[in-house]
Structure 1
Amino acid sequence: MTLRVNGKVVTPTGVIRQGCVELDGDRITAVAEYPSVRDGHWIVPGFVDMHTHGGGGHTFTTGDAGSARQAAAFHLGHGTTTLLASLVSSPFELMRAATEAYRPLVEEGTLAGVHFEGPYLSAARCGAQNPQFLRDPSVAELTELIELGGGAVRMVTLAPERDGALEAIKLLTAHRVVAAVGHTDATYDQTRAAVGAGASVGTHLFNGMRPVHHREPGPVVALLDAPNVVCELVADGVHLHDGVLTFVTATAGPERAALITDAMSAAGMPDGEYELGGQAVTVADGVARLAADGAIAGSTLTMDAALRHAVHAGVPMADACRMVATTPARAIGLGDRVGALQVGLRADLVVLDDDLNVVRVMRGGSWVE
């Protein structure tokens, strides 16, 4: 049965002001002008969050499948139709257990994959990562996780200056797992070597990274300068100044800048006391920080809020939609399935009002209750 959704349709190439999306079953069958439409809602692609630790009081970081299901449902209500379950630095036993627990959720489509943010990170740039779990990359550990996941492991963030990092990146990319550079004190040259080995994502650019210096550009410049690297950005006004957000968008282009939430369980919840990777987190005025030292500890962001923030900062609507859907989908190898309002892709879309608040969400051709 053909269904038609009318409004201001945002495609990868621009906005169809009087448009419609037609779908049959779970697939988009047409995207076209529809002249009889007058002042409809925004119709945008379902959001793709490639980096989130939880939300709605639930977390991905403990390896609990029930909690993961609830966190995914929370973000789905905010328009995120595709997401990776991001863990933080953990003992290998927890990484194994989470891979086993989340593999069925990936196979059923609740999750798009697992993202290990750590534990192969820099102690000097660990941010809210638990320092007691940091260690050098292990090819043996990664091989076991990849085999255990049967395709569920989608991305691993590591610091390229750690011993064994380049070998780990080569192993990951050989198994079609995205290697991301993050929480790193690497030099420009070390980062370039990681990109040369196959790293293709910069984990929350600027945050948890050696800062830019004109005599040692560091990882930020190396990642921005690499034409095959997608740079994650946390568009909440806390992680990045809006001037940096618009600068990176202009420099890398919307095809290489991806908005993420980096959300923790406190997203959508009241201020108060929370936990992340075994560390106490205090949320005040919606900002999550480690209780111990005040380091930013993820965010309380949702993807619809990230889109609103980017547009209000001056990013054009069509570009912002690429950054919340098309670009992250491509970055994690799902661009041929989701991430755009295009014929043949899964019918994932979000209906937004003129203030860019979520009105309705569709995933796989079905409206979300």
Structure 2
Amino acid sequence: MKTWITGGYVYRYEKRRLERKNLCMENGVITKICSPSEAITDGEVYDVKGKAVVPGFIDIHTHGGCGFDVNAASKEDLEKIGHFFATQGTTTWLCSILTDTKEQTEKVIGEVLKHKADHENCADLLGIHLEGPFLSVEFKGAMPESLLRGADLDLLKEYQEKAEGNVRYITVSPEVEGIPEAIPAIRDMGITVAIGHSGADYETSRKCIENGAMACTHTCNAMKLFHQHFPAIMGAVLEADDVYCEAICDGRHLHPGSVRMILKAKGYDRVVAVTDSIMAAGLPDGAYKLGVNDVIVEEGDAKLPNGVRAGSTLTTGTALKRLVEFTGKSMEDVLPLLTMNPARLIRAEEHIGSLEEGKDADILILDDAYNITDTFVKGKKIKKQEETPCH
């Protein structure tokens, strides 16, 4: 059945502006975007009364939300995470598996496959982001040190086969033994490579970029920072034109001035807004988990007992508001950081990331204050569940 979204201003990515248009969805796909003057002869009509109609947000780095941690999540838990995300603006996500044992990592992969085969009323879990285990001990953050290791293509191939090709993204540290040389083979497995959790020097980082690394994980966080004599990994990723930089725009991980600096260096087409959220997203302060770690959240700030920051409580809807606030730019200018940029990075732009005829009907309705009033995932309107703890 056709559903028309009328009376709204549709975001046009190429023009970076909202235009008064009607949009038609059918069988989960956008089938028509047309002038409001064109007659509607059939289908259901949904009048959004002057609100903005924008692409659904894509979060490629998140460890959970609404009380559920990805590393311990069942199929049903993933659906609950996905429902919470959808109410906050995320229509597509990658679940980030924190470095864990082989047994637990494969268990999570199994639950992801079950969820992908049978789910409803939630964001689309497109695939998996592996944050490790090929990471630096020095910049491990919340990674369990005993499980970190050198490049192991056989292990990664096992994970990818177990995941039936659904590992889409991986974070590795350039200085870890074997990583620069392994990147082409990782890409051949269909996995986009990000570098991070790293104290790597400039030259080693550049080698990874030359070999095909396409992104930097939570830029400026858990990495050696720029020095005029030793640009390090931070200097390498900010300089490289083709590299995307993840940014956690919660005001804690990056000062607003740092967000503006990254955007000045990279441009608005090479920054990807991520949440790096943990199970505490959407819930009050308290004690939570991130993989094997205990995490304490105080005033919305998630930290390990030793004071090291451990993910965030950010949502994509809040990230949009922060980006507008931090940059002074319009919503139309910053939307690509949450939509087309992540889609391109994980090579999914042919079906998500913008509102175009033939693309998936992943759509948000926003009011004048950028609050999400409705979410459509593959053309289906997300129903709110008031009994959940996150509402």
TM-score, structure 1 normalization = 0.95
TM superposition shift of 1:131: 2.1
Whole-Å separation in 1 of the counterparts to 2:370 and 2:275? 17
For residue 315 of structure 2, the aligned residue among 296, 302, 314 is: 302
Whole-Å separation in 2 of the counterparts to 1:332 and 1:104? 22
**Does the 8 Å CA contact 2:180/2:204 hold for their aligned counterparts?**
no
For residue 241 of structure 1, the aligned residue among 247, 255, 262 is: 255
Q: Where does 1:274-353 land on structure 2 (aligned, <5 Å)?
A: 274-291=288-305, 293-313=306-326, 314-353=328-367
**Does the 8 Å CA contact 2:151/2:179 hold for their aligned counterparts?**
yes
Q: Where does 1:57-206 land on structure 2 (aligned, <5 Å)?
A: 57-107=67-117, 110-206=124-220
Give a deviation string over 1:1-57, Cα, whole Å, max 9, x none: 432223222221222342332222211123345379997111110000000000000
**Does the 8 Å CA contact 1:246/1:315 hold for their aligned counterparts?**
no
Tell me the secondary structure at the aligned position of residue 61 of structure 1: helix
Q: Which range moves more in the overlay, 297-306 or 88-97?
A: 88-97
TM superposition shift of 1:316: 2.8
Whole-Å separation in 2 of the counterparts to 1:17 and 1:338? 19
Change (3 A) 1:194 1:297: same
> In structure 2, what residue type is equivalent to 1:34?
P
For residue 21 of structure 2, the aligned residue among 19, 24, 31 is: 19
Say how many residue pairs are matched: 368
Structure 1: state its 5+ residue gaps.
none
How big is the alpha-carbon RMSD for the aligned residues of Structure 1 and Structure 2? Answer: 1.8
Change (3 A) 1:38 1:114: closer
Whole-Å separation in 1 of the counterparts to 2:142 and 2:84? 23
> In structure 1, what residue type is equivalent to 2:27?
G
> In structure 1, what residue type is equivalent to 2:353?
G
Structure 2: state its 5+ residue gaps.
39-46, 384-391
Whole-Å separation in 1 of the counterparts to 2:18 and 2:89? 20
TM superposition shift of 1:63: 5.0
Change (3 A) 1:77 1:242: same
TM-score, structure 2 normalization = 0.90
